[in-house]
């Protein structure tokens, strides 16, 4: 293999480039990114960066003096993958011929229809998004967060700490019920009320009002919530349009095996755009978590370099964290397959909890609130083969 193109220059792309060099790949390495920025870390964008406690330099993922001997093509988007020519086509007309391709194009924030062009309406996905939101939050006012998932909850928590008046609107009866289940979703989302942040559940958003700038969020039940700033946190969709017609099988992102291999030889996918097969579930699952973007490229690169001669290992159970209102929230595993959840240590009312999810008595997931030590031990146990 003489040229490898990594398409995507965030954590998953950088991790893949590092894995390539670490695993002995010595050929030409091209990293393509649609943003102009060098690889940066996203988790602080809704927390310390938004609060002004971290600057842009702190977000850099590369270490001082790190040299991957890569060609960086930044600020240009991939528009196509030509399987016959083995080439990645770019929006600026260039193309990169490569024997191996790592797809790491991530996911893009979903928006609300009809919100384009209305000032004061934000999504939070990129550094540029975070800069814009940070500048507006600094002016204060009334913030309405649409979506009570992790991004929405973190923005609400950060904005609350900045002294902003915050309302969170969630269409589901319980926020976070998808990732955490009903019971613990209720426990974690109770953090909002602890701090005087209004949480409106079970009601959809009909639209936004305002001429050039948003002034209210209109709810399906007829209510109108005044807003100076709106953050839309309603999930993300995988950025895989550029692969249509390429021969790479798409299904909720790039469909891959348990080692990131796609339907095309010499092409692997990692990060938020990759729908990996999870042997623990017996199903494909697209995981939009930092840890997967950090770890899975090691396996995908090994598969790429081995040319399909390698047995896929068992990926570790998904893990993510969140910091809200000073509480460290950690979760590992799959809540959706559990039939029970019990608090093993701590108390729900103290927001100090180690909860274990089980299926037929076997632990399948674990949640920690301010329990890093115990959580880590449970997480290791879940990962054990």
Partner 1 sequence: MMIPACRLADLPRGEAFRLDIDPPVSVFHTDDGEVFAIDDTCTHQDASLADGWLEGCEVECPLHSSKFDLRTGAVDAPPAKLPVRTHEVMVEDGVIYVRVSTDAPNLPPCVAARLAAGPA
Each residue 11-40 as x (binds partner 1 by CB under 8 A) or -, in order, gives x-----------------------------
Neighbours of 297 (CB within 10 A): 30
Segment 77 to 136, residues that bind partner 1, using CB under 8 A: none
The full DSSP string for 325-368 is TTEEEEEEE-GGG-SEEEEEEEEGGGTEEEEEEEETTEEEEEEE
**CB 48, min distance to partner 1, A:** 6
Q: Quick one: 261 or 294, whose CB is closer to partner 1? A: 294
CB of 328 to partner 1, least distance (A): 7
State which H helix or E strand residue 150 sits in: helix 150-161
Interacting stretch for partner 1, rule CB under 8 A, among 88-96, 247-255, 281-289, 371-379?
Answer: 371-379
Whichever of 68 and 337 has its CB closer to partner 1, that residue is 68
Of the two residues 215 and 295, which places its CB atom closer to partner 1 in the complex?
A: 295
Backbone phi, psi, residue 350, to 5°: -90, 0
With CB under 8 A as the contact rule, the residue among 41, 129, 182, 215 that binds partner 1 is 41
- Interacting stretch for partner 1, rule CB under 8 A, among 139-147, 195-203, 252-260, 370-378? 370-378
3 binding partner 1? (CB under 8 A): no
Tokens of 126: 């990129």
Question: Minimum CB separation from partner 1 for residue 257, in Å?
Answer: 24
- Out of 113, 373, 384, 385, the only residue in the binding site for partner 1 (CB under 8 A) is 373
CA distance 225 to 210: 12
Query: Could you tell me if 357 and 335 are in contact, meaning their C-beta atoms sit under 8 angstroms apart?
Result: yes
Mask: binding to partner 1, 308-327, rule CB under 8 A, as x and -?
-----------x-x------
Burial tier of 141 (Cβ tally within 10 Å: 0-12, 13-18, 19+): middle
DSSP at 45: G
Question: Within 233-292, which residues bind partner 1 (CB under 8 A)?
Answer: 290-291
Q: Which of residues 45-64 bind partner 1 (CB under 8 A)?
A: 48, 53-54, 58, 60-61, 63-64
Closest to 185 measured CA to CA, from 158, 153, 157, 160: 153
Distance spanning both ends of the chain, measured CA to CA: 33
Region class of 357: left (phi > 0), else alpha (psi between -120 and 50), else beta: beta
User: Which residues contact partner 1 by CB under 8 A?
Assistant: 11, 41, 43, 48, 53-54, 58, 60-61, 63-64, 290-291, 294, 319, 321, 328, 330, 372-373, 375-377, 380
């Amino acid at each position: 293999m003489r040229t490898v193109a990594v398409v995507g220059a965030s954590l998953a792309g950088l991790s893949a480039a590092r894995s390539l060099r670490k695993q002995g790949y010595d050929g030409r390495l091209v990293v393509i990114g649609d943003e102009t920025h060098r690889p940066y870390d996203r988790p602080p964008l809704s927390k310390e960066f938004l609060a002004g406690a971290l600057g842009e330099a702190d977000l850099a993922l590369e270490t001082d003096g790190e040299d991957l001997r890569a060609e960086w093509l930044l600020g240009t988007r991939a528009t196509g993958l030509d399987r016959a020519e083995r080439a990645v086509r770019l929006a600026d007309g260039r193309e990169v011929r490569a024997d191996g391709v790592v797809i790491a194009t991530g996911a893009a924030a979903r928006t609300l229809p009809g919100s384009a062009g209305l000032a004061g309406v934000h999504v939070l996905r990129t550094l540029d998004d975070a800069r814009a939101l940070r500048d507006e939050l600094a002016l204060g006012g009334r913030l309405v967060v649409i979506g009570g998932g992790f991004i929405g909850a973190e923005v609400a928590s950060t904005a609350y700490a900045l002294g902003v008046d915050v309302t969170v609107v969630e269409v589901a009866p319980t926020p976070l019920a998808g990732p955490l289940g009903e019971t613990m979703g209720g426990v974690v989302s109770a953090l909002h009320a602890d701090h005087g942040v209004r949480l409106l559940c079970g009601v959809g958003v009909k639209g936004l009002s305002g001429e050039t700038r948003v002034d209210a969020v209109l709810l399906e039940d007829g209510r109108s919530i005044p807003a100076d700033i709106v953050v839309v946190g309603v999930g993300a969709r995988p950025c895989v349009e550029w692969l249509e017609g390429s021969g790479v099988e798409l299904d909720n992102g790039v469909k891959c095996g348990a080692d990131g291999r796609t339907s095309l030889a010499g092409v692997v996918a990692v990060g938020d755009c990759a729908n990996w097969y999870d042997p623990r579930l017996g199903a494909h699952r697209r995981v939009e978590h930092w840890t997967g973007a950090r770890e899975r490229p090691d396996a995908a690169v090994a598969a790429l370099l081995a040319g399909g001669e390698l047995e896929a290992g068992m990926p570790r159970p998904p893990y993510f964290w969140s910091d809200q209102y000073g509480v460290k929230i950690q979760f590992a595993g799959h809540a959706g397959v559990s039939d029970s959840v019990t608090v093993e240590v701590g108390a729900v009312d103290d927001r100090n909890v180690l909860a274990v999810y089980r299926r037929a008595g076997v632990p399948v997931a674990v949640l920690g609130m301010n329990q890093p030590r115990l959580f880590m031990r449970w997480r290791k146990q879940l990962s054990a083969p």
